[in-house]
Chain A
Amino acid sequence: MTRKQKRMAVIAGGMSFILIAVLLVMFAFSQSVAYFFMPSDLAKNEVSPGTRIRLGGLVEAGSVVRGAGSTVSFKVTDGSASVPVSYTGILPDLFREGQGVVTEGVFTTSQAFVADSVLAKHDENYMPKEVADRLKADGVWKESEGSPTTGAKGSVTR
Chain B
Amino acid sequence: MIVEIGHYALVLALAIALIVSIAPVVGARRNDAALMALAPSGSIILFGMVTLSFLALTWAYAVSDFSVRNVWENSHSLMPMIYKLSGVWGNHEGSMLLWLLILTLFSALVALFGRNLPDTLRANVLAVQAWVTVAFTLFILLTSNPFIRLNPAPAEGQDLNPVLQDPGLAVHPPLLYLGYVGFSVCFSFAVAALIEGRIDAAWARWVRPWTLAAWTFLTAGIAMGSYWAYYELGWGGWWFWDPVENASFMPWLAGTALLHSALVMEKREALKIWTVLLAIITFSLSLLGTFLVRSGVLTSVHAFATDPTRGTFILAILSIFVGGAFALFAWRAPQLKSGGIFAPISREGALVLNNLILTVSTATVLTGTLYPLVLETLTGEKISVGAPFFNLTFGLLMIPLLLIVPMGPLLAWKRGDLLGAMQRLYLVAGLALVVGLGLYYVENGGPVLAFLGLALGIYLILGSLVDLWYRANFGKLAFSIAFARLKGLPRSAFGTALAHMGLGVTVLGIVAVTAFETEHVLEMKQGMTADAGGYTLVFDGMKEAVGPNFTEERAHFTISKAGVAVADVWSSKRIYTARRMPTTEAGIVSFGLSQLYVSLGDPMADGGIVVRIWWKPFILCIWLGSVIMMIGGFVSLSDRRLRVGAPSRRTKPAKIALEPAE
**B612:A89 contact, CB within 8 angstroms:** yes
| Cβ-based interface call for B447 (8 A) | no
CB-defined contacts of A123 to chain B, threshold 8 Å: 299-300, 303
A123 to B305: give the CA distance in the assembly, Å: 9
| Contact pattern, A 1-40, Cβ under 8 Å of B = 1, otherwise 0 | 0010010011000100110010011011101111110000
**A154:B601 contact, CB within 8 angstroms:** no
CB-defined contacts of B579 to chain A, threshold 8 Å: 147, 149-150
**A33:B383 contact, CB within 8 angstroms:** yes
| Contact pattern, B 380-393, Cβ under 8 Å of A = 1, otherwise 0 | 01111110110011
**B300:A93 contact, CB within 8 angstroms:** no
CB-defined contacts of A3 to chain B, threshold 8 Å: 341
A92 to B234: give the CA distance in the assembly, Å: 9
**A31:B392 contact, CB within 8 angstroms:** yes
A154 to B144: give the CA distance in the assembly, Å: 12
**A90:B610 contact, CB within 8 angstroms:** yes
Q: Which of B98-106, B278-286, B580-588, B621-629 contacts A (4 or more CB under 8 A)?
A: B580-588
Chain B residues touching A, majority SS: mixed
A83 to B361: give the CA distance in the assembly, Å: 39
CB-defined contacts of A93 to chain B, threshold 8 Å: 234, 573, 581-584
Chain A residues touching B, majority SS: mixed
A2 to B86: give the CA distance in the assembly, Å: 62
CB-defined contacts of A17 to chain B, threshold 8 Å: 356-357, 360
How far is the CB of B146 from the nearest CB of chain A, in Å?
11
Interface residues of B in 314-354 (CB under 8 A from A): 341, 343-344
| Cβ-based interface call for B514 (8 A) | no
**B393:A66 contact, CB within 8 angstroms:** no
Question: With A6-B344, A93-B583, A150-B158 known to touch, is A124 a contact of B306 (CB < 8 Å)?
Answer: yes
Interface residues of B in 355-374 (CB under 8 A from A): 356-357, 360-361, 363-364, 367-368, 371
- Closest residue on chain A to residue B343 by CB atoms: A6
**A32:B389 contact, CB within 8 angstroms:** yes
A2 to B143: give the CA distance in the assembly, Å: 60
**A129:B299 contact, CB within 8 angstroms:** yes
A27 to B612: give the CA distance in the assembly, Å: 34
**B389:A36 contact, CB within 8 angstroms:** no
CB-defined contacts of B581 to chain A, threshold 8 Å: 93-94
CB-defined contacts of B368 to chain A, threshold 8 Å: 25, 28
How far is the CB of A7 from the nearest CB of chain B, in Å?
8
CB-defined contacts of B662 to chain A, threshold 8 Å: none
**B382:A91 contact, CB within 8 angstroms:** no
**A14:B356 contact, CB within 8 angstroms:** yes
Interface residues of A in 124-158 (CB under 8 A from B): 124, 128-130, 147, 149-150, 153-154, 157-158
Question: With A28-B389, A31-B392 known to touch, is A128 a contact of B299 (CB < 8 Å)?
Answer: yes
CB-defined contacts of B382 to chain A, threshold 8 Å: 35-36, 54, 130
CB-defined contacts of B392 to chain A, threshold 8 Å: 24, 27-28, 31-32
**B299:A91 contact, CB within 8 angstroms:** no
- Closest residue on chain A to residue B612 by CB atoms: A90
Question: With A21-B393, A21-B397, A90-B610 known to touch, is A66 a contact of B364 (CB < 8 Å)?
Answer: no
| Range of interface residues on B (Cβ < 8 Å) | 35 or more
| Cβ-based interface call for B304 (8 A) | yes
CB-defined contacts of A10 to chain B, threshold 8 Å: 344
Question: With A21-B397, A25-B393, A122-B161 known to touch, is A70 a contact of B523 (CB < 8 Å)?
Answer: yes
Interface residues of B in 29-77 (CB under 8 A from A): 73
**B612:A32 contact, CB within 8 angstroms:** no
Question: With A36-B383, A36-B384 known to touch, is A18 a contact of B582 (CB < 8 Å)?
Answer: no
The total number of A-B Cβ pairs within 8 Å is 131
How far is the CB of A47 from the nearest CB of chain B, in Å?
13
CB-defined contacts of B341 to chain A, threshold 8 Å: 3
Interface residues of B in 293-317 (CB under 8 A from A): 296, 298-301, 303-307, 309
- Closest residue on chain B to residue A13 by CB atoms: B344
| Cβ-based interface call for A88 (8 A) | yes
How far is the CB of B374 from the nearest CB of chain A, in Å?
12
CB-defined contacts of B397 to chain A, threshold 8 Å: 21, 24
How far is the CB of A41 from the nearest CB of chain B, in Å?
10
How far is the CB of A143 from the nearest CB of chain B, in Å?
14
Cβ-defined partner of B371 (8 Å) among A29, A88, A90, A128:
A29
**B384:A33 contact, CB within 8 angstroms:** yes
CB-defined contacts of B393 to chain A, threshold 8 Å: 21, 24-25, 28
CB-defined contacts of A92 to chain B, threshold 8 Å: 235
- Closest residue on chain A to residue B574 by CB atoms: A93
Interface residues of B in 450-483 (CB under 8 A from A): none
How far is the CB of A12 from the nearest CB of chain B, in Å?
11
CB-defined contacts of A121 to chain B, threshold 8 Å: 299-301
**B521:A34 contact, CB within 8 angstroms:** no
| Cβ-based interface call for A104 (8 A) | yes
Cβ-defined partner of B304 (8 Å) among A6, A90, A124:
A124
Interface residues of A in 90-121 (CB under 8 A from B): 90-94, 104, 121
Interface residues of B (CB under 8 A from A): 73, 143, 158, 161, 163, 234-235, 296, 298-301, 303-307, 309, 341, 343-344, 356-357, 360-361, 363-364, 367-368, 371, 381-386, 388-389, 392-393, 396-397, 521-523, 573, 578-584, 599-602, 604-605, 610, 612
16 A-B pairs within 8 Å (CB atoms) are namely A3-B341, A14-B356, A21-B364, A24-B397, A29-B385, A31-B389, A35-B382, A35-B383, A66-B602, A90-B600, A94-B582, A122-B300, A129-B298, A149-B158, A150-B579, A158-B307
Beyond the given pairs A24-B397, A32-B388, A128-B299, 9 more chain A to chain B contacts, judged by CB atoms under 8 angstroms and listed by A's residue number, are A21-B364, A28-B368, A31-B389, A33-B383, A54-B384, A66-B605, A69-B522, A90-B610, A149-B158
Interface residues of A (CB under 8 A from B): 3, 6, 9-10, 14, 17-18, 21, 24-25, 27-29, 31-36, 54, 66, 69-70, 88-94, 104, 121-124, 128-130, 147, 149-150, 153-154, 157-158
Q: Top 9 A-B pairs ranked by shortest CB distance?
A: A90-B601, A36-B382, A32-B388, A129-B299, A93-B582, A28-B392, A32-B389, A70-B610, A28-B389
